[in-house]
Amino acid sequence: MTATKEEIVFEGNGVSSGIAVGIALKLDSHHRVVLKTLVEDSAIEEEARRVLQAIEASKEQLHALKHRLEEKVGPEHGFIFDVHILMLQDKSLIVDILSIIRGQKANAEWAVRLATDRIREAYLSLEDEYFRERVSDIENVVERILLNLSGNQPFHWEPLPQDLIVVARDFNPSIFATMDLEKVRGLALERGGRTSHTAIISRGLRLPAVMEIKEFLASVSTGDTLLLNGDDGQLIVHPCAERINRLRVRLEESRRAGFEPDSAAEGILTAKDGVRIFLQANTELPHEVVAARKFGAEGIGLFRSEFLFFAHPQGFPSMSDQLETYKMLAREMAPHPVAVRTLDAGGDKSWAQPGSAPELNPSMGLRGIRMSLKAKDQFAAQVEAILRASVDGNMEIVLPMVSSVEEVVEAKAVIREVRAGIRLPDSRTPRAVPMGVMIEVPAAVLTVERLAEEADFLCVGTNDLIQYLLAVDRNNPQVAHLFQPLHPSVLQCLVRIAATAGRLGKPARLCGEMSSNPFFAVLFLGMGYDQLSMNPRAIPVIRRVVRSVAVRDARRSRICHCPGNRRVSCARNHPPRTHGSETVPPRAGQRGNPHWRAANTWRIRRICPSWARFTG
């Protein structure tokens, strides 16, 4: 591919490794994409009429909005909409749009996008900051016209070409459920972060992704050639041939990327001192079971079932629809367990019941077990599907977003009632399946003893636990640096959960991004966790780490001094202090603190001599 325009390099945060070259597919704030379609001669004037009607409707809407704003805050603020109205009254813009429709026999949506892209590029070429800032006004006008042209209908992937790089302001992870993964090569987003759900899924799919790219959308149009570098956190628009050739080897390596299965993946996994450790897979999409088996997962520790709902046209799949998926998972992973987390929509996994009003703060709204107990018929349908699938394998139910014992008791009553009403073909009632609870909010940590008494096992959701514990929105780039997995409060919670589970004889499974990190894996072994659930592709590396570590050493030389050892005292940007022959962590979390990391890497190397092989 050769670039005909000047190359532009944008820096961002590489959240999923890999390199890809492809064609930009630009989604607007409604996750729409504008494609060019050929219009028959007989329909050209109808397209022209459509666009003129959409422009008139847009002007009427803006006049109404201006009037309402002036009534509320005064006439001096109405000028905000005047700029948009003037753009819509620009005769040269209208003539340009109509000439594209008639000259290129193009659809109205494409003509609007192409004509306004020309204006946008002209504004960006000016040195005057005032005119450059008007680009956002152009985008707002375009979105309003497109909305009046096509409504809010989702686009279809069938007519799209291969080798696409999706570019957008943000990206709802529910789109993964309908996306044609054979056509998409990467994601480039203005928002998001490493621990966002979209980033987690991208890593699971080995899809290169760069997020937190500042103010790049105005410089990208659908069809532009892009080079996405998830390793270095770069997006290059109109990459030159020399740059592409320079990265050709890495591009080929990226296409073949993926850990090869261990020859030692089969068999029982034990630590160096013989302690039994279980490594399981976190999955979101049904086909990820292939990767789970390939990389030696001993079960699916967490199947995030909300993606079955995102992909369903009616919003809530029937019991039989779900049963088909759960039976497949049970058969593919047998004799290992499959833990299905019941519907947990909210936060960055938005899903709403038909007819429900949008929530101002979905992360703390009607999600998880709260939604299930409100919509009990739908919850019962999902539970029935899981129970029926248990005939084909070892199924488990996991309740998300639990904050009180009463929620667990009420959910157990629903499960018992559903089970009692099921009759299998041989007139049997399905066997009871283990039921676990997610420990992912501070209230669950503080009441973990009572929750463990009601549940068969505990699942620790580190991603949400850190977010709620530290009051940090992990998708907000302004505070993302405060998302600290090794914050003292996080460590104390993890120790408390493991100690409680051990005392009560209940398994504790640690899920979330932290499990995929060799640095953290040794820490968790020292805390007492023997079940880690992670991205399937991280399993081979963590398996080698586990085999190189003696759990007794990890427990005796715990990396962070938590209750029961020494008081946690960390502080960001302070070098490590020494206490005798040992290094004591600084006074804050690990994030952004090379001193802390260096000191504790040395301590891990003492426990795990082959550490360098897993982190280099």
Block means of pLDDT (10 residues each) for the chain, 616 residues, are 73 89 81 73 91 91 79 63 84 90 90 83 68 69 82 65 89 73 90 80 85 88 90 92 83 60 69 95 87 92 86 73 93 96 71 57 82 93 96 96 96 96 84 95 97 97 92 80 89 96 96 86 94 91 92 73 39 33 35 44 50 44
Instruction: Please identify which of the residues 197, 336, 487, 561 carries the catalytic annotation.
Output: 197
- Determine the residue type at 9: V
User: φ and ψ at 43, to 5 degrees?
Assistant: -105, 0
Domain at 278-351+363-550: CATH architecture: Alpha-Beta Barrel (3.20)
Confidence (pLDDT) at 73: 55
Confidence (pLDDT) at 175: 73
Residues in the chain: 616
What are 304's strand-pairing partners? 341
Query: Using an 8 Å Cβ cutoff, are 373 and 411 in contact?
Result: yes
Confidence (pLDDT) at 366: 83
Confidence (pLDDT) at 573: 31
Q: Which among 432, 370, 354 has a CA at the least distance from the CA of 407?
A: 370
Domain at 41-150: CATH architecture: Orthogonal Bundle (1.10)
> Alpha carbon of 605 to those of 45, 272, 551, 553, 599: distances in Å?
73, 14, 14, 11, 10
The verdict on whether 562 is a catalytic residue reads no
- Please tell me whether residue 461 adopts helix, strand or coil conformation: strand
> Which class for 354: exposed (0-12), middle (13-18), buried (19 or more C-beta within 10 A)?
exposed
Confidence (pLDDT) at 131: 63
8-11/234-237 β-pairing? antiparallel
Q: Is the previous residue joined to 400 through a cis bond, with omega within 30 degrees of 0? A: no
Q: Could you state, in order of their start, the residue ranges of all structural domains in the chain? A: 8-32+156-255, 41-150, 278-351+363-550
- Two tokens, residue 408: 């667990």
Residue 276 CB neighbour total at 10 angstroms: 11
Instruction: Please identify which of the residues 459, 493, 511, 608 carries the catalytic annotation.
Output: 511
Domain at 8-32+156-255: CATH architecture: 3-Layer(bba) Sandwich (3.50)
Which long-range contacts link 505-510 to residues 24+ away (Cβ below 8 Å)? Answer: 506/452, 506/455, 506/456, 506/457, 506/458, 507/456, 507/457, 507/458, 507/531, 508/457, 508/458, 508/460, 509/280, 509/301, 509/302, 509/339, 509/436, 509/457, 509/458, 509/459, 509/460, 509/533, 510/460, 510/462
Confidence (pLDDT) at 405: 97
The verdict on whether 511 is a catalytic residue reads yes
> ∠ at Cα 92 (88, 93), nearest 5°?
45
Domains 41-150 and 278-351+363-550 share a fold: no
Q: pTM of the predicted model, to two decimals?
A: 0.66
